[in-house]
Amino acid sequence: MTKPKGLENGLTNYGDRDFARYLRRSFAKSMGYTGAALDKPIVGICTSESGFNNCHRHFPEMIEAVKRGVLAAGALPVTFPVISLGEVFLSPTSMVYRNLMAMAVEEMIRAQPMDAVVLMGGCDKTVPAMLMGAISADKPAAMVVAGPMMTGRHRGERLGACTDCRRFWGSFRAGKVSAKEIEQVEGRLAVTSGTCAVMGTASTMALMAETLGMLLPGSAAIPAVHADRLRNCEETGALAARMAMTGGPRPSQVITPAAIRNAERVLLAVSGSTNAVVHMAAIAGRIGMKLDLDDFNRRSDETPVLVDLKPVGAGYMEDFHYAGGLEGVLREIAPQLETATRSITGETLAKRLARPLTDPIDRAVIREAKNPISPVGGLIALRGSLAPEGAILKRAAATEALLEHEGRAVVFTSLEDLAARIDDPELDVAADDILVLQNAGPKSPSGMPEAGYLPIPKKLAQAGVKDMVRISDARMSGTAFGTIVLHVSPEAAVGGPLSLVRTGDRIRLSASAKRIDLLVDAAALKRRRSEATSPAYQPARGYARLYNEHVTSATEGCDFDFLGPAGD
What's the chain's average pLDDT? 96
What percent of the chain has a predicted confidence (pLDDT) above 70?
Answer: 99
Please check whether residue 255 is in contact with residue 119, taking contact to mean a CB–CB distance below 8 angstroms.
no
Amino acid at 191: V
Query: What domains can be seen in the chain, in order of their start residue?
Result: 40-150+192-354 (no CATH), 152-186 (no CATH), 380-556 (3.50.30.80)
What value does the mean pLDDT take over residues 81-101?
95
Instruction: Evaluate if residue 2 carries a pLDDT over 80.
Output: no
DSSP H helices, 187-313, are 201-212, 227-246, 251-254, 257-269, 275-286, 293-302
CA distance 230 to 255: 25
Name which of 65, 83, 71, 371 is nearest 219 in CA terms: 65
Name which of 296, 314, 326 is nearest 221 in CA terms: 326
Half-sphere exposure of 434 (CA within 13 A, CB side): 29
Instruction: Give the pLDDT confidence of 399-410 residue by residue, as tens digits.
Output: 999 999 999 999
Instruction: Evaluate if residue 524 carries a pLDDT over 70.
Output: yes
Band (pLDDT 50/70/90 cuts) for residue 10 is: very high
Q: What is the pLDDT, as a whole number, of residue 510? A: 98
Instruction: Give the pLDDT confidence of 55-84 residue by residue, as tens digits.
Output: 999 999 999 999 999 999 999 999 999 999
Q: What is the pTM of this model?
A: 0.96
CA distance 509 to 32: 65
Q: What is the pLDDT, as a whole number, of residue 567? A: 60
What value does the mean pLDDT take over residues 251-270?
98
CA distance 490 to 495: 7
Report long-range pairs for 465-469 (Cβ below 8 Å, ≥24 apart): 465/431, 466/170, 466/399, 467/398, 467/399, 467/402, 468/402, 468/431, 468/433, 468/434, 468/435, 469/402, 469/405, 469/407, 469/434, 469/435, 469/507, 469/509
Band (pLDDT 50/70/90 cuts) for residue 1 is: low
Band (pLDDT 50/70/90 cuts) for residue 379 is: very high
Instruction: Evaluate if residue 184 carries a pLDDT over 80.
Output: yes
- Our CA angle for 414, 492, 435, nearest 5°, is 55
Please check whether residue 247 is in contact with residue 376, taking contact to mean a CB–CB distance below 8 angstroms.
no
Band (pLDDT 50/70/90 cuts) for residue 478 is: confident
Band (pLDDT 50/70/90 cuts) for residue 312 is: confident
Q: What is the three-class DSSP state of 144?
A: strand
Instruction: Give the pLDDT confidence of 412-462 residue by residue, as tens digits.
Output: 999 999 999 999 999 999 999 999 999 999 999 999 999 999 999 999 999
Cα distances (Å, whole numbers) of residue 145 to 62, 141, 552 = 10, 13, 27
Q: What is the three-class DSSP state of 294?
A: helix
Name which of 185, 204, 186 is nearest 195 in CA terms: 204
Q: What is the pLDDT, as a whole number, of residue 28? A: 97
Sign of CA dihedral 522, 523, 524, 530: positive
Spell out the residues 6+ positions from residue 26 whose beta carbon is closer than 8 angstroms to its own: none
Name which of 478, 481, 396 is nearest 207 in CA terms: 478
User: For the chain, how big is the Rg over CA atoms in Å?
Assistant: 24
Band (pLDDT 50/70/90 cuts) for residue 568 is: low
Spell out the residues 6+ positions from residue 330 whose beta carbon is closer than 8 angstroms to its own: 211, 266, 337, 349, 352, 353
Phi, psi of 518 (to 5 degrees): -95, 115
